[in-house]
Amino acid sequence: CVVGKSLIDLKSKLYKKYKAKSINHFFAYTTEVLPWLGDNSFYPSINNFTQFNISVLFLSQNLYNRSTLPTEEKYFADPEHNSLVLRQVLNPGQFTTCAAILFRFPGLIFYNPSMNELACGLIGLNASLSEGACILVRVLAIPIAHKCLWITKGNELNYSNEMNTCTVTFVLTQYFYPTLLWLKFILRFIASIIIILCLWNDYFRHYFALVKALAHHGYRHNLDKTAIWRYQLVIGDVWFAYGSIGIMNYILKWSK
């Protein structure tokens, strides 16, 4: 039979495995802005797009530059303003086509035509290094974020003014809507509780019953009592099985 210490260790590992599997679903949500955190004081005026572009670009450039960002950091997360910053140093002289230089720009999949035009202007040095562009992101006509792209001369990553180089900075800033954030948080919490209960009732609790049975009876009748028997239980990943269940797919989809 499994000795007492081994039984305790096995149960401890089971609990840790169950805890990790059951709450991993909720860990992903905590990487987003929590309802009680963040600055919801900034909402740019969107009545005039020209003024919006100027004000938001000015604010972004003042918040994220060589004086405020860490050295050599291409990626920076600013939880206070709910912003993500991407930077890339380029030598425009190395590129001869618009497509070639575009693929080196950070955040490319989020660009609009004005940003593409700004990037392609570097090929013939037609774009001023002080230029920039911003766009407003809407979902169901509700503004949820803005994105800004600008180009500065020199290498902003190591604070140098290298010849023939420029730094491309892309910033995504999401807006805070406390009511929406609380609604999402509550729905996700409920979804996680349902998943935790299902994992326990349908899967993990049976492991503990198996451990108890092995500890008292072993794996078959008439075991050699003079020997010390030890067992190793392999705990599989049940997410694939749960992903094939319709109700689980529904819960995971609507809790995103």
Residue type, 181: L
Instruction: Residue 135: name the closest of 152, 122, 117, 153 by CA.
Output: 117
What percent of the chain is predicted at pLDDT more than 90?
Answer: 11
Q: In this structure, what token pair is assigned to residue 232?
A: 């190793």
Q: Packing angle between helix 4-30 and helix 205-217, nearest 10 degrees? A: 170
**pLDDT average, residue stretch 207-235:** 75
Q: Would you say residue 60 has pLDDT above 50? A: yes
**pLDDT average, residue stretch 33-45:** 67
Distance CA 15, CA 204 (A): 9
Task: Please provide the average confidence, as pLDDT, over all residues in the chain.
Answer: 76
- Find out whether 175 and 37 touch, Cβ atoms under 8 Å: no
Distance CA 125, CA 54 (A): 22
pLDDT score recorded for residue 253: 61
pLDDT score recorded for residue 85: 94
User: With 0-12 CB in 10 A as exposed, 13-18 as middle and 19+ as buried, what is 101?
Assistant: buried
pLDDT score recorded for residue 2: 42
Distance CA 256, CA 250 (A): 10
**pLDDT average, residue stretch 118-147:** 76
**pLDDT average, residue stretch 64-93:** 88
Distance CA 233, CA 221 (A): 19
Alpha carbon of 125 to those of 93, 150, 218: distances in Å?
9, 14, 78
Distance CA 98, CA 133 (A): 17
Residue type, 48: N
Name the least confident of 96-105, 162-171, 218-227.
218-227
Q: Would you say residue 120 has pLDDT above 90? A: no
**pLDDT average, residue stretch 9-16:** 54
The more confidently predicted of residues 31 and 95 is 95
**pLDDT average, residue stretch 198-219:** 78
Q: Report yes or no on whether pTM surpasses 0.75.
A: no
